């Protein structure tokens, strides 16, 4: 499916997608830059639920855990010196 962006930056959501995802007039959408593309997520009445799992598969958890392990190793090396 495809749509065109107007000079004012507007675009239409294809009818098939509106039906499939229950998108209605005046609903809000969140535009997420994933680094490799753009993800458009409808915001339901309970906005907190809408963000649940949206960054899954991007490797953020693994990256944070790796950084924390490296930080812990640095702290341990410093403690051994003193």
pLDDT digits (tens, 9 = 90+) for 3-40: 999 999 999 999 999 999 889 898 989 899 989 999 99
CB 32 within 8 A of CB 58: no
Question: Do residue 12 and residue 46 come from a single domain?
Answer: yes
Q: Indicate if 41 and 1 belong to the same structural domain.
A: yes
pTM above threshold 0.75: no
| Full domain range(s) for residue 24 | 1-51
**Do 8 and 28 belong together in one domain?**
yes
With a CB cutoff of 8 Å and minimum separation 6, the contacts of 62 are none
67 and 82 belong to one structural domain: yes
Going 28 to 30 to 31 to 36, the CA torsion angle's sign is: negative
**3 state SS of 47:** helix
Which residue in 79, 78, 59, 57 sits closest to 67, CA to CA? 59
Q: Tell me, what's the pLDDT at 42?
A: 86
pLDDT at 57: 76
| Residues 12 and 40 placed together within one structural domain of the fold | yes
Same domain, 9 and 47: yes
Q: Which residues pair with 13 in a beta bridge?
A: none
């Amino acid at each position: 499916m495809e749509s065109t962006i107007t000079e004012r930056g507007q675009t239409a959501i294809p009818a098939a997608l509106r039906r499939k995802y229950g998108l209605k007039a005046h609903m809000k959408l969140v535009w997420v830059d994933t680094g490799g593309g753009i993800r458009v997520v409808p915001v339901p009445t309970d906005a907190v639920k809408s963000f649940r799992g949206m960054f899954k598969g991007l490797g953020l958890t693994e990256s944070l855990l790796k950084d924390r392990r490296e930080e812990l190793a640095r702290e341990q090396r410093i403690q051994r010196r003193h």
